[in-house]
Amino acid sequence: MLTDTRELLLGYLDHNATAILRKLDGLSEIDLRRSTLPSGWTPLGMIKHLACTERLWIRHMFGGEHVDFSWPGTAEQEWRVGAGEPTAGIIAFFHRERENCADLVATTPLDALAARTTRRGGVEEHPTLAWILFHLAQSFARHAGHLDVSRELLDGVTGK
């Protein structure tokens, strides 16, 4: 329903996550790990970054969970995929974080406040679950566009 805020936020987030994974379809293992841009990120690195982003906002910031940040380590490393990191493992990590988000949202009011604060506009505040979901949906949408460009540069495939 177009007036149900929870349904809209989850719908857009799920739609963008599905589009992101679809952009990997047909890429070889080499192309999944190959960068086409000067910044050096790869399609598989983007998936890792998005899973880390969702883990940060849902589990760490909102849920207050003490998440082990030793992997991937630094914010820069979450974009990098090491030779020993299997593709299936990164995709599974992405799916696990999506499931964590869905589980939390199913039982939590949208106006519930995060356990941890974030700084916005110079002020420390506890964001609501709705704000976090909106933030994640727009982040996923922006990065889906980045993957569109990367995919076109890799093999000429363009998407919707």
What digits encode the pLDDT tens for the residues 42-69? 999 999 999 999 999 999 999 999 988 7
Any domain includes 113: yes
Domain residue limits at 129: 5-155
- Quickly tell me which residue has 């980045």 as its tokens: 146
Predicted pLDDT at 78: 82
- Mean per-residue pLDDT for 73-85? 84
Res. 124: pLDDT tops 90: yes
Res. 1: pLDDT tops 70: no
What is the rounded CA–CA span in Å between residue 31 and residue 17?
A: 20
Any domain includes 126: yes
Number of domains forming the structure of the chain: 1
What is the rounded CA–CA span in Å between residue 49 and residue 51?
A: 5
Any domain includes 160: no
What is the rounded CA–CA span in Å between residue 104 and residue 99?
A: 9
**Residue 17's CATH number:** 1.20.120.450
Any domain includes 141: yes
Any domain includes 84: yes
Out of 2-6, 29-33, 67-71, least confident range = 67-71
- Mean per-residue pLDDT for 3-26? 93
What is the rounded CA–CA span in Å between residue 25 and residue 157?
A: 10
Any domain includes 20: yes
Any domain includes 55: yes
DSSP state of 125: E
The pLDDT confidence band at residue 160, using thresholds 50, 70 and 90, is low
What is the rounded CA–CA span in Å between residue 127 and residue 118?
A: 7
Q: Report the SS3 class of residue 100.
A: helix
